[in-house]
Chain A
């Protein structure tokens, strides 16, 4: 075959140029992470102080005050969501892993994946109709339930993967000793998959901790302390949204501080997730 020299040179050039272009894509894609984190740190640290962390919001227009109630409220509702979603999510995940080849399991798995893609604002509206309308009040309960609906499919899918990754020899060893199947799952398989499940749970927590959309008209927000389930509750994401929309300089400042707190919590949860996976994989292999 006669090769044209010009074409051969062009091919080599195209190769280098295209590969370099993929690198440029990666740089462009990574840039926003650093830019946004830098803005958060710079703008957030200026406003992050003891008062912000420990006091209640001041009246609109007044300077000072903080988001203590929103910080507590966020943890409160995320904790509530965890309690509601963990048993169901893990149970569903175990089902998918252990009985996953049935027709019904395929349907369930498909539903879990589709649920993962339902916009959180839609979940907010549904829970509003379910709880807020009949209770005639926005409530922490509604907020927690909305968040748990986001978490359940996430936890189910990671649990499935982790339980499935538990080697069959472990199951057989336990069954071979005469343990019942339920006993084997509870005492052998689930503990072996624990690290991976923790990872999934942490990632789900990180996701919902930053969610504002499902809380806008379920938990609503609150300028005062509240620890009752049936009353509106403050939380960081919606507070950031409200403050950012407001016309007050000082509230903008506080929104940055709140965003910094939010991102720190989210990153810590992500890092815990990563560390527990790494240990798990080391143990399993």
Chain B
């Protein structure tokens, strides 16, 4: 792929020179450049609109907004800390569950499974990404949450209730429910990118390891994963970006309560879910502005995460990362 692109580079440069001789070609080029510019403008536009709409909140609360735990729409006192906390806890815990499972699955698809099984397994995992968020939420609300409450949370509270992490009561809708749904939702992304990165490891690396008497697992762990680790890190960060921005499914199972609690069994709130849940109910300009400011932060965070992940994955696919 990379070589093909290189080979066509010369042709492209030449073609560009020829292209501008005709008015139609010049028009064509102008049109596609304009289209491409829309992509950049979109980003700027998002940033501008979010900034514009949140100025009222920014001016009213200043830095207090990010460190205040108070969220009181009636008295119009707004602080985003509970949502930042909820987003951090759910996304990181989801990552802890999703990363090993995704890596295992990616390794299974790329290295372990017999050839005929690879396509079907990949297909099923990709289906996971195709299921809409709101459908995960529906299933989570009516199937997973009641099941969790009865079969996981109640026993946990009984046995480990004294540990803050599992403090009761068992109410079902909880950070735990959000974490599980999030984990399932980001697994297909991490798996797909990791699989690609693993498949891109040169066969010569595997052969070198085998020829030294390494087992398949030793080859995977010490050579393949090591070679692919930067790309896998990119995949994980990409998945993390998804987890941070995921909205509907989380809103439907997390309980939407702006408390900061250590207990995974208690309801929480995330940045995305507070926007989804309260935006249409927000009546005052300050309330709306505060919600938009949370949106602005969410935008900035996901922007950074994605930029970082893309840079990593790109460097790998262009073969720049070696050691």
Contacts and interface: CB of A to CB of B under 8 A. Distances in A.
B232 interface: no
Contacts of A262: 132, 134-135
A173 interface: no
Contacts of B298: 119, 121-122
Contact of A95 (B36, B275, B280): B36
Given A25-B104, A121-B245, A241-B137, A113 B306 contact: yes
Contact of A87 (B35, B215, B246): B35
Given A91-B32, A92-B38, A118-B299, A22 B134 contact: no
Interface stretch (B21-29, B157-165, B257-265): B21-29
A26 B121 contact: yes
Contacts of A171: 11, 15
A240 B249 CA distance: 12
B276 A244 contact: no
Contacts of A237: 132, 134, 248
Interface string A23-35: 1111011101100
A49 interface: no
Contact of A220 (B11, B19, B217, B280): B280
Interface in B226-278: 238, 241-242, 244-248, 251-252, 272, 275-276
Nearest to B24: A182
Contact of B40 (A22, A108, A126, A213): A108
Interface stretch (B48-56, B78-86, B148-156): B48-56
Interface stretch (B60-68, B69-77, B107-115, B199-207): B107-115
A11 to B, nearest CB: 6
A153 B39 CA distance: 7
A108 B217 contact: no
Number of contact residues on B: which range applies?
35 or more
A14 B131 contact: no
A213 B18 contact: no
A40 interface: yes
A76 interface: no
B134 A259 contact: yes
B210 interface: no
B284 interface: no
Given A115-B42, A115-B43, A262-B132, A241 B252 contact: yes
A227 interface: no
Contacts of A46: none
Contacts of B139: 36, 39-40
A55 interface: no
A216 B279 contact: yes
By CB atoms of chain A within 10 A, which of B38, B39, B124 has the most?
B39
Contacts of A110: 307, 310
B24 A183 contact: yes
Contact of A263 (B28, B37, B135, B276): B135
A39 B143 contact: yes
A206 B133 CA distance: 12
Interface string B1-27: 000010011011101101100101101
A164 interface: yes
A36 B39 contact: no
A244 B137 contact: yes
A263 B131 contact: yes
A206 B252 CA distance: 22
B45 A181 contact: no
Contact of B138 (A15, A244, A266): A244
A192 B46 CA distance: 35
17 contacts: A11-B215, A21-B104, A22-B105, A26-B121, A92-B35, A92-B36, A116-B306, A117-B302, A121-B298, A129-B49, A181-B22, A182-B24, A210-B133, A210-B135, A216-B280, A241-B248, A266-B131
